[in-house]
Amino acid sequence: MARFPCYAEAKFCTRPEFKKKKKKKKKVIPLASSHASEGRCRSYFSDNLSNDLIFSCGPHTYRHHNNVHGDDDHPEDPRRIWRIYDAIRNAHCTDRMIKITSREATVDELGLVHTDNHIENITKTSAMSKDDLLEMANSYNSIYLNNLSAFCARLSCGSLIEICKAVASGQVLNGVAIIRPPGHHAEPHEAGGFCLYNNVAIAARYLQQNHGLKKIFILDWDVHHGNGTQTAFIDDPDVVYCSIHRFDHGTFYPGDPVAAAHTTVGEGLGRGRTINIPWNSSGMGDSEYIYAFNKVIMPILYEFAPDFVLVSAGFDAAKGDHIGQMLVTPAAYGHMTHMLKSLAGGKIILALEGGYNLDSIAVSGLACVKALLNDPIEALDPIRPNPLCVQTIHEVIKVQSRYWKSLPPIYANAEDDIPTDTSAIGMDKILAVYQENHLRETYGMIKMPRLDGKDRGEFLDNVHCTQQLYNNSPLYIFIHDLGELCARTVGTNNTLRPQKSVLVDAMTQYVDYIINAGNELIDVVVPYLPTTEEEKVMLKDQQSNVLADLWSTLVATSAMEGRRIVVLATGFGCHGLVAFLNEKQKEVPRYLSSVTLVLGDDTMPMVTKKLSPWYIENSFVMASDDHPIWERTSQKMNSRTGNLVRTGKYHRNTIDSM
């Protein structure tokens, strides 16, 4: 048998985390003696069945999955499974576990999910030349190959099937498969994302067809969306696929802005059986993942009542993983595992997917194993999810509550429920009337004259100013949301109870402060809250155009010469303001005294490099203590982000800093 044969990588790997590095001489780590016995896995047995945990960690998979065509530092490192195994062995967990003998999956088993053509293409790699292997690898998205790739992939899949067989037949309670290559990116017709065959999808089909287990719940907590697994069950009413992953508005690998979005729910009879929880930011940690479990995953699990639970257990959302850039601790992985094993009579199997920090996957995998063995789990810090997480979960529930009674029914679409012969007024219009009356009666403010109506839409009715606008007093331009409507509803159709609903207008305190200090004010209300990327782009452009109109009016009337001018924006208004500053970067330093941003739940906008020297000296960019920007510890701040300051728990404590 060849020792450590080389493994070809894809020369143009499209997973963004894989970058060429300077080659280093790598230390060869020998196999632990307990991994192999005459080329096969040993088995370990426990006398106490109630504590039994079955696992697989195939030595062939470990030994033959490395590279020949370039970088030794590829993230899908052969040491990944060895480090997890070594951690559970050193913790003496293997004394209470059964280790199965690995085997290859059969062609028929692979065919439960994959096409004949795909199986044939992978199989023939065993006889290919080095150059042909590289050419074939480059034809896929982020795949590398050698002559033992097909064997390793069959072994990975077959080992998981063997564990499923043992748990399903009642030999043991649960299991963990420490296997590679991973599988959740492999589509039925092609490989991708380091994955050749879809291990978990094949195992689910095997359980259905060979053990009479109809309802299967697949949870994928790998930081990447499991596109292959989702595709395999997209129209299956008996398999729920739930993925909690980094999304970044569709730009994070595998980079499908539709398939990985929260709005994808399945097709045909499988509608409602696909659940995506997509994070639009790095830095999500224990609080965010446990919040998602409590609000979405566990309620659906209890309602679905699965016969079996499979976990695509990637550990690239773990704290320390340079690819996922998330902050999940081993304690959180333990708690999530503990919650999951309360379902399906405890029939749960964790199968390794991704995870590329060797230290992180070792301690995370160990935490999961301890949870399966009923060992005490490390306590979590208090659960305080960040605003981006809360908004994401709200959007997920809004979609999924159409299909799951255990989720609060917030899906009602008012426009769909209005009879065609009935008059209807949008709540935003009603609130805009309140805002206009309040500004006029309390402060004597009027609608801003001389605004160009072209392409300004709803902003024309939402710009007001004090009546002495053109004197020499300091001028504040304030861009903000209308307020937060806190509504109480009743019934499954979400009928609003007006007497139990209020508008929380936190912006009034800003207006009070500005006007009572003897300043003049232009008040610009952002007319609606955008929910899609298209709406965000459109609204940002509208804001920028309105500010450009105001700017032209003030410059034309010499209202900006020789006076202090401060621009303040909150929430989504920050994006339109920064877009405007970038457009007027040559004029901004001449006229503006300072800029204040009070960040909302979204990402932080940045000015151009040319404007940044002025911006860092003349800006206050305020973020509350629970804003996700503070959790991105790896992100170096620079002058383009402005003078970033903490404001405490609530923004309202910062008004005296303006």
Helix axes 79-90, 358-372, angle to 10 degrees: 50
Residue 13: both structure tokens together: 């790997």
| pLDDT of the residue at 89 | 94
More confident residue, 528 or 374: 374
Q: By C-alpha distance, which of 249, 382, 394, 223 is closest to 316?
A: 223
Average pLDDT over residues 286-297: 98
Alpha helices in 46-95, H assignment, sequence order = 59-63, 79-90
Q: In the 8-state DSSP scheme, what is residue 638? A: -
At 242, the pLDDT band (50, 70, 90 cuts) reads very high
For the chain, domains (ranges, CATH) are 53-401 (3.40.800.20), 427-646 (3.40.50)
Between strands 644-646 and 619-623, the pairing is parallel
| pLDDT of the residue at 425 | 76
Q: How far apart are CA 508 and CA 173, in angstroms?
A: 59
Q: 488 - beta bridge partners? A: 497
At 450, the pLDDT band (50, 70, 90 cuts) reads low
Q: Is the pLDDT of residue 74 over 70?
A: no
Residue 484: both structure tokens together: 């937060």
Query: Could you tell me what percent of the chain has a pLDDT over 90?
Result: 54
Average pLDDT over residues 38-64: 39
Q: What is the pLDDT of residues 116-151, one digit of tens each?
A: 999 999 999 989 888 888 888 888 888 888 888 899
For the chain, what's the residue count? 658
- Whether 185 is catalytic is yes
Q: How far apart are CA 327 and CA 516, in angstroms?
A: 45
Q: In the 8-state DSSP scheme, what is residue 602? A: S
Q: How far apart are CA 510 and CA 570, in angstroms?
A: 11
Q: Mean pLDDT score of the chain, rounded to an integer?
A: 82
**Best mean pLDDT range from 11-15, 124-128, 242-246, 570-574:** 242-246
- How much of the chain is in helix, strand and coil states, percent to nearest 5? 40, 15, 45
At 57, the pLDDT band (50, 70, 90 cuts) reads low
71, 134 contact by CB (below 8 A): no
Average pLDDT over residues 53-69: 49
Q: Is the pLDDT of residue 511 over 80?
A: yes
Q: What is the pLDDT of residues 419-441, one digit of tens each?
A: 566 677 777 788 888 888 999 99
591, 550 contact by CB (below 8 A): no
| pLDDT of the residue at 50 | 31
Average pLDDT over residues 26-36: 24
Amino acid at 380: L
At 636, the pLDDT band (50, 70, 90 cuts) reads low
| pLDDT of the residue at 42 | 28
In order of 243, 478, 586, the CA distances from 574 in angstroms are 32, 10, 19
Average pLDDT over residues 229-240: 98
Task: For the beta carbon of residue 586, count every other beta carbon within 10 angstroms.
Answer: 9
Average pLDDT over residues 441-469: 77
Q: What is the pLDDT of residues 529-539, one digit of tens each?
A: 787 778 888 88
Residue 224: both structure tokens together: 């990447």
Alpha helices in 561-652, H assignment, sequence order = 573-583, 588-591, 612-618
Q: Is the pLDDT of residue 6 over 50?
A: no
| pLDDT of the residue at 569 | 92
Q: By C-alpha distance, which of 484, 303, 477, 311 is closest to 407?
A: 303
At 54, the pLDDT band (50, 70, 90 cuts) reads low
Q: Is the pLDDT of residue 51 over 50?
A: no
Q: Is the pLDDT of residue 326 over 90?
A: yes
Tokens 């903000």: give the residue. 480
161, 118 contact by CB (below 8 A): no
| pLDDT of the residue at 298 | 98
At 38, the pLDDT band (50, 70, 90 cuts) reads very low
553, 463 contact by CB (below 8 A): no
At 112, the pLDDT band (50, 70, 90 cuts) reads very high
Q: What is the pLDDT of residues 586-627, one digit of tens each?
A: 989 988 999 999 887 667 788 999 999 999 999 999 888 777
Q: How far from chain centre, in Å, is Cα 395?
A: 13
Query: Could you tell me what percent of the chain has a pLDDT over 70?
Result: 80
| pLDDT of the residue at 445 | 93
Judged by DSSP in three states, 466 sits in coil
| pLDDT of the residue at 52 | 47
Q: In the 8-state DSSP scheme, what is residue 50? A: G
Active-site residue, selected from the candidate residues 114, 185, 224, 627: 185
Q: By C-alpha distance, which of 290, 335, 301, 314 is closest to 220?
A: 314
Q: Look at the alpha carbons of 315, 78, 128, 139 in this order and tell me if their dihedral is positive or negative.
A: positive
Q: Is the pLDDT of residue 14 over 60?
A: no
Q: How far apart are CA 301 and CA 187, in angstroms?
A: 25
